[in-house]
Amino acid sequence: MIPYAYLVDDDDAIRDSLGWLLESRGVACRGFGSAEEFLATWNDTLTGCLLLDIRMDGMSGPELFDILNERGNKLPVIFLTGHGDVPMAVSALKKGAFDFVEKPCNDNELANRVIEALRLNENQRLAASGADSLKTLIDTLTTREKQVMERVLSGKLNKVIAEELLISMRTVEVHRANLFDKMGVRTAVELAQLLAGKSGK
Amino acid sequence: MIPYAYLVDDDDAIRDSLGWLLESRGVACRGFGSAEEFLATWNDTLTGCLLLDIRMDGMSGPELFDILNERGNKLPVIFLTGHGDVPMAVSALKKGAFDFVEKPCNDNELANRVIEALRLNENQRLAASGADSLKTLIDTLTTREKQVMERVLSGKLNKVIAEELLISMRTVEVHRANLFDKMGVRTAVELAQLLAGKSGK
DNA sequence: GGCACCATTGTGGAAATCCGTAATGTTCGA
DNA sequence: TCGAACATTACGGATTTCCACAATGGTGCC
């Protein structure tokens, strides 16, 4: 999925001029004439950033923003507004908007913000992919292996784990060795480091 | 150090009315007539929150904010402004301000924001104290113990650690046992969990 | 000098881990 | 129904950790 700048504005002229501006800076764009239209297209695999007009016929920019947030949107959102409205800007930024820009604005500056937003999104995706591959790795573990791993991470001895799971120590050793192998670690400490901060479930 | 709401505004009347409002809600306040005056008082042990006027004689609110940020200020900052200025609000919030409020505003609302800010500051201090006590704990380790700990956390065997540090395995065992004792853990895995996410240096 | 703290090492045994080889039973999908 | 994957266990030895007891030498402070 290629990163796009998604432009949501009910003013065709603005979408066109913004699109032209961004394309000239090497940013691929897609325009939407209403919040509803974008919402129908949106899914959580989109990458890039979102430029959102405040005032639109039908659903407003902030309303769309709230809905997208609920649905787990990860695209950075830049709000565009024609009339200075401090409370709205404050509210949007506190809810996690990437930026809030007044129209008309310095075109060059806006393009820079968009590029910043794209870069942020890319970095976040890179960071998430690490967590994801780890999760995928954990998914390859069998039920027993996960149970053993959980207890190993609690610092329990094999003997204790065996008692808890009502199986022999040897079996615990086997599961332990297998899961270490699958996780690509040699020791329990390495495993703990690998999962540092994660739930480990 | 008791949490205060530090009011910085060059308008005596506003300081007084704000102070009265907040005191009536149980918030202790201290007023300052200029950014310079507050800056002279500020130190990194202050707790509470900061209400900062944008326009002031001498140093402006945003200027003071920048300086405090450089100096490691952890107080949540609420900006107060008389004239709606979206770019300034955006800039302040992106720099980490807690809130940005237009005057005149709903007194009750402002007091709520202040109380939120105080609560945030308290939570942050609680979270930091955990990290601090951990750091204090690590400081009680001797040089050798830290060296051993570092290697234990890399999942190295005592034998390998002994070779690296050019000492006997027995000595490593002693250091290991001592540092486990000081850190209050029974196993290497517990130690790794304790330091999850920290540098461990 | 005496004392506390640190670093160092040894002996030796109990306990735990690590691991190859081998085997049995279950489950689930082709 | 056959086979792959999983769970289980045993034997036995190599390696490692854990620990009590014991000792030596250096540094820094009162």
All residues of chain A having their beta carbon less than 8 Å from the beta carbon of residue B153 are 189, 193
Interface test with B, best of A54, A86, A176 (most B CBs within 10 A): A86
- The C1' atom of C7 and the CA atom of B58 lie apart, in whole Å, by 60
pLDDT value at B198 more than 60: no
* pLDDT digit string, tens, across residues A159-197: 999 999 999 999 999 999 999 999 999 999 999 988 875
Residue B158 has pLDDT above 90, yes or no: yes
Task: Return the CATH class of domain B4-130.
Answer: alpha beta
Band of residue B137 on the pLDDT scale cut at 50, 70, 90? confident
Backbone angles phi, psi at A20, to 5 degrees: -65, -45
Closest B-chain CA to A82: B86
Q: Do B4-130 and B140-194 have matching folds?
A: no
Q: Which helix (H) or strand (E) holds B169?
A: helix B169-183
pLDDT for the residue A197: 57
Please check whether strand C approaches the CB of B141 to within 7 Å.
no
The mean pLDDT of B21-32, rounded to a whole number, is: 96
Per-residue pLDDT reduced to its tens digit, A38-90:
999 999 999 999 999 999 999 999 999 999 999 999 999 999 998 778 999 99
Q: Do B155 and A87 touch (CB under 8 A)?
A: no
- Crossing angle between the packed helical segments A143-152 and A158-165, to the nearest 10 degrees: 130
Beta strands in A85-139, from DSSP E residues, in sequence order: 99-102
Write the residue in A90, A93, A192 that is nearest to B192 by C-beta: A192
Count of positions (residues) in chain A? 201
Q: What gap in Å lies between CA A82 and CA A55, rounded to an integer?
A: 8
Domain A140-194 CATH class label: mainly alpha
Hey, where are the domains in chain A? 4-130, 140-194
* B87 touching A (Cβ < 8 Å): yes
pLDDT at res. A199: 44
**Is a pLDDT exceeding 90 seen at residue A14?**
yes
Question: Which residue of A93, A187, A188 is in closest CB contact with B94?
Answer: A93
Q: Give, in Å, how far the C1' of D9 lies from the CA of A163.
A: 15
Per-residue pLDDT, B199? 44
- Give the ipTM of the model, two decimals please: 0.79
Cβ distance of B86 and A86 shorter than 8 Å: yes
Mean pLDDT lowest among A95-99, B122-126, B182-186: B182-186
